[in-house]
Structure 1
């Protein structure tokens, strides 16, 4: 590999790590949200939103106040049979509940906002898309261990397209506008919810019972097919390694803006990304990375962000594992050399630290720990166990915790059980 190619690869691999800035507020919670039902009207030119949200949740009967994440959203009204009153304190919406024996509650929230992050508007292209920070466009519980179903109705001018988490269940005319109705029937954390709106060229590739959808405002249908030609093979590879079929009937990839972000059932990738792929068709790490999150991240989710490496290191490593499968051992070894060089740099600068964080703080070095040291550690674990045992363990872990929240101890115990190994020394050396 030439020096210029190595630099380009480092740039591509670093993009996803540089764009995600998760703060430490999202930890475990006693609140268990069961479902979100959102109706939202984005105004691209004004960069604003109007939202009406119905939340069903459970809390212990001894709890008379709940706290929801609402960022800078302006709350108009909160109503429900058990609601006494509400108040906004900084980024939190506090709702007092009447003392009662029931644990199941339902509240309605009406709000307005001009999101500063999380929902990005492009007035020139008449587009908008979400990126991770759900509480900037919808009141929610940010805790990654709180999983819920999600319905979103997006009110748009006629002729605009929408892509959102879940499946499109219908489009209803509303005068000069249309209400696009999406529903996600399986539970995921709120940070995985999202949507994209705009006008795009679209093409679909059916793979078995799954429709792979590709969108762009810059590429034509043939270019889209060329851009995402490996997607079907990537999906099948992850199904094989996890032992779990992809969770819904469609997966969409949208070229838009400057970000790379997975969501439930879709991913956004930067408009500029095709430049790299068309120059070198093996440079598909971000396609495979975001698709890997449909298993490791969205459906097998760190219980709190102290165990964030279980999301991101797995996505990085599984991307490289696919490259090995598709392009050969040399490609895989090239990836591992890059991850090791990032890890060695952390060590040299005295910034190496355990993969498990007592309190997660997002910065470039910490992200390099969880993304690239984490991926390198998975490579070392594979060498330690051997291929057959390693992949047996990965499949056992994935099947055991699909649709659940996990800790590093859960991963360790699953690998030990599947491989009949004692991994105490390995985890103490490399992970804790």
Structure 2
């Protein structure tokens, strides 16, 4: 009878877990539907972009084949594309669209390319060939580099790809991509994927052909066209690694980026197989310090110094190849799954490479940025209200996200933490995930409920603000801990007791209440105490 009861109990427990998993998954899908209106209608499978650039004008001539499936019958659908405006003259003008070789009607309105298909049936693949031209307003940056040489660099994050090619410009719609790049022959070209072809098509022009094997979000689909010095620096676990820098300072650039091999090897060992066909580190005109474009990372121009000053930046962008590019946040509000991961896994790389003091110094600096940002903006890490996505590039997404992972690692242990990171990646590689998806994986791996942990640190605003006081009497320390913020947090707090004889020890208390008095055994006269001596908790201390 007891065995029967146990069997039924286990059966219903499994059913309940399945229900929860499906429920959480449906929330992620609904979130994507809300922020990507085309989610219900189309699914882009592949882009094939032919792009022609020149030195006489900033106008690009292009055509793109977009392979997509309809999820339901539709009289119209749209792709994101910034149209030409009459004031600046910048933007894209579409000349024609063909659906499987049949011309179809379209219009450009409010930076959308609205297409009226001739017919469509769900779950069949249709190819739309779109011919267009124009001067990009943004996204494809056409300018001069710091040496005065003309360059063309894709710089799409968060949703600026639509400035130079028609697409579903949202991280939840991934697709494979091919590029055929036609340019004057004094340039070299780099793009996502493997270079299939390099051809002299005339005395003055070259053609480059790149192709990816795995789907990418549009935020990391880019090309780079410039005068480069290129160094192939070998392979790391069968991944070719190369450096692309401006020729004027090639020796410095080659030296700066040679450390990428050891960084890549570290993360392959820790996370798993590298997701792309190559790793190219590229000096560029990106507006960011680094932009983690899939398989070819673009770094800011001044990153080349010859002093290897940006090891942590290189590590940060390489981490993104797994988290952000391959396992991608379902929506921008979950950006910490990209930036928080890259920040903290870089911290762990620096711990391995440079030791504990460097690691803790980085954590303290990150903590300071979180506390400063909180004084300016009281928003949660998972922020669905901010619609200017550039403003999500903040201390919540980066440094607080990193601290959440740091505290999670302390909570479940280093071994289970890395096991969970690997499992999360393997589950969502080449897919999309939400914060709750990540939580579910870490719960399965650790065997612990993490609902409260994730809610208080990621979905609620703020952090613990602690005021403490103590008295010592007869080997007893009476410690009062008061949380001054509006909502109390629950967390372990390490207390270092420093004795008058010069010795010390660490005690741990579980803080759960708004205010509470703890009685702690002490081995002698306590001179003073220190909260969180090992840098394990994100908090603010009120003096």
Partner of residue 225 from structure 2, selected from 152, 174, 197: 197
CA distance in 2, matches of 1:258, 1:144: 19
Aligned to 2:362: 335
CA distance in 1, matches of 2:356, 2:304: 24
Aligned 1:213-252 pairs, distance under 5 A: 213-218=242-247, 220-242=249-271, 244-252=272-280
Cα deviation for residue 219 of structure 1 reads 5.5
Structure 1 or 2, whichever has the larger Rg, is 2
Aligned to 1:53: 64
Alpha carbons 1:54, 1:107 under 8 Å: kept: yes
What is the CA RMSD across the aligned residues, in angstroms?
2.1
Aligned to 1:40: 51
CA distance in 1, matches of 2:336, 2:417: 18
Partner of residue 425 from structure 1, selected from 445, 448, 452: 452
Alpha carbons 1:44, 1:121 under 8 Å: kept: no
Cα deviation for residue 282 of structure 1 reads 5.9
Aligned 1:289-304 pairs, distance under 5 A: 289-304=316-331
Aligned to 1:93: 113
Cα deviation for residue 362 of structure 1 reads 2.7
Cα deviation for residue 74 of structure 1 reads 1.0
Tell me the secondary structure at the aligned position of residue 147 of structure 1.
Answer: coil
Aligned to 1:184: 212
Change beyond 3 A, Cα 1:366–1:255: closer
Aligned to 1:266: 296
CA distance in 2, matches of 1:258, 1:152: 20
Change beyond 3 A, Cα 1:429–1:44: farther
CA distance in 1, matches of 2:391, 2:138: 19
CA distance in 2, matches of 1:322, 1:108: 45
CA deviations 1:289-325 (Å, max 9, x no partner) are 1111110011000111121111111111122211111
Alpha carbons 1:27, 1:143 under 8 Å: kept: no
Matching of residue 67 in structure 1 with residue 97 in structure 2: no
CA deviations 1:175-205 (Å, max 9, x no partner) are 2311111111111112211011111111111
CA distance in 2, matches of 1:131, 1:402: 23
Alpha carbons 1:44, 1:127 under 8 Å: kept: no
- Structure 1 stretch displaced more, 296-305 or 96-105: 96-105
- Structure 1 stretch displaced more, 255-264 or 379-388: 255-264
CA distance in 1, matches of 2:441, 2:387: 24
Larger RCO (CA within 8 A; separation ≥ 6): 1
Tell me the secondary structure at the aligned position of residue 348 of structure 1.
Answer: helix
Alpha carbons 1:28, 1:144 under 8 Å: kept: no
Alpha carbons 1:354, 1:431 under 8 Å: kept: yes
Alpha carbons 1:83, 1:95 under 8 Å: kept: no
Cα deviation for residue 174 of structure 1 reads 2.0
TM-score by length of 1: 0.88
CA distance in 1, matches of 2:375, 2:367: 12
CA distance in 1, matches of 2:377, 2:224: 41
CA distance in 2, matches of 1:193, 1:366: 19
Aligned to 1:6: none
Residue correspondences, number: 405
Cα deviation for residue 220 of structure 1 reads 4.8
Q: Which runs of 5+ in 1 are unaligned?
A: 1-23
Cα deviation for residue 223 of structure 1 reads 2.6
CA deviations 1:380-424 (Å, max 9, x no partner) are 111222211211111111111111100111000000001111101
Cα deviation for residue 364 of structure 1 reads 4.4
Alpha carbons 2:99, 2:117 under 8 Å: kept: no
Matching of residue 129 in structure 1 with residue 153 in structure 2: yes
Aligned 1:9-24 pairs, distance under 5 A: none
Matching of residue 105 in structure 1 with residue 126 in structure 2: yes
Change beyond 3 A, Cα 1:156–1:341: same
Alpha carbons 1:40, 1:51 under 8 Å: kept: yes
Alpha carbons 1:356, 1:408 under 8 Å: kept: no
Aligned to 1:29: 39
Alpha carbons 1:129, 1:196 under 8 Å: kept: yes
Partner of residue 164 from structure 1, selected from 165, 185, 191: 191
Alpha carbons 2:303, 2:310 under 8 Å: kept: no
Cα deviation for residue 130 of structure 1 reads 0.8
CA distance in 2, matches of 1:181, 1:408: 37
Cα deviation for residue 107 of structure 1 reads 0.8
Alpha carbons 2:323, 2:338 under 8 Å: kept: yes
TM-score by length of 2: 0.71
Aligned 1:391-402 pairs, distance under 5 A: 391-402=418-429
CA deviations 1:58-92 (Å, max 9, x no partner) are 01242221110101311111111466411101210
Partner of residue 238 from structure 2, selected from 209, 221, 225: 209
Change beyond 3 A, Cα 1:218–1:293: same
Q: Which runs of 5+ in 2 are unaligned?
A: 1-33, 84-91, 460-543
Cα deviation for residue 356 of structure 1 reads 4.2
Tell me the secondary structure at the aligned position of residue 32 of structure 1.
Answer: strand
Alpha carbons 1:83, 1:97 under 8 Å: kept: no
Cα deviation for residue 350 of structure 1 reads 4.9
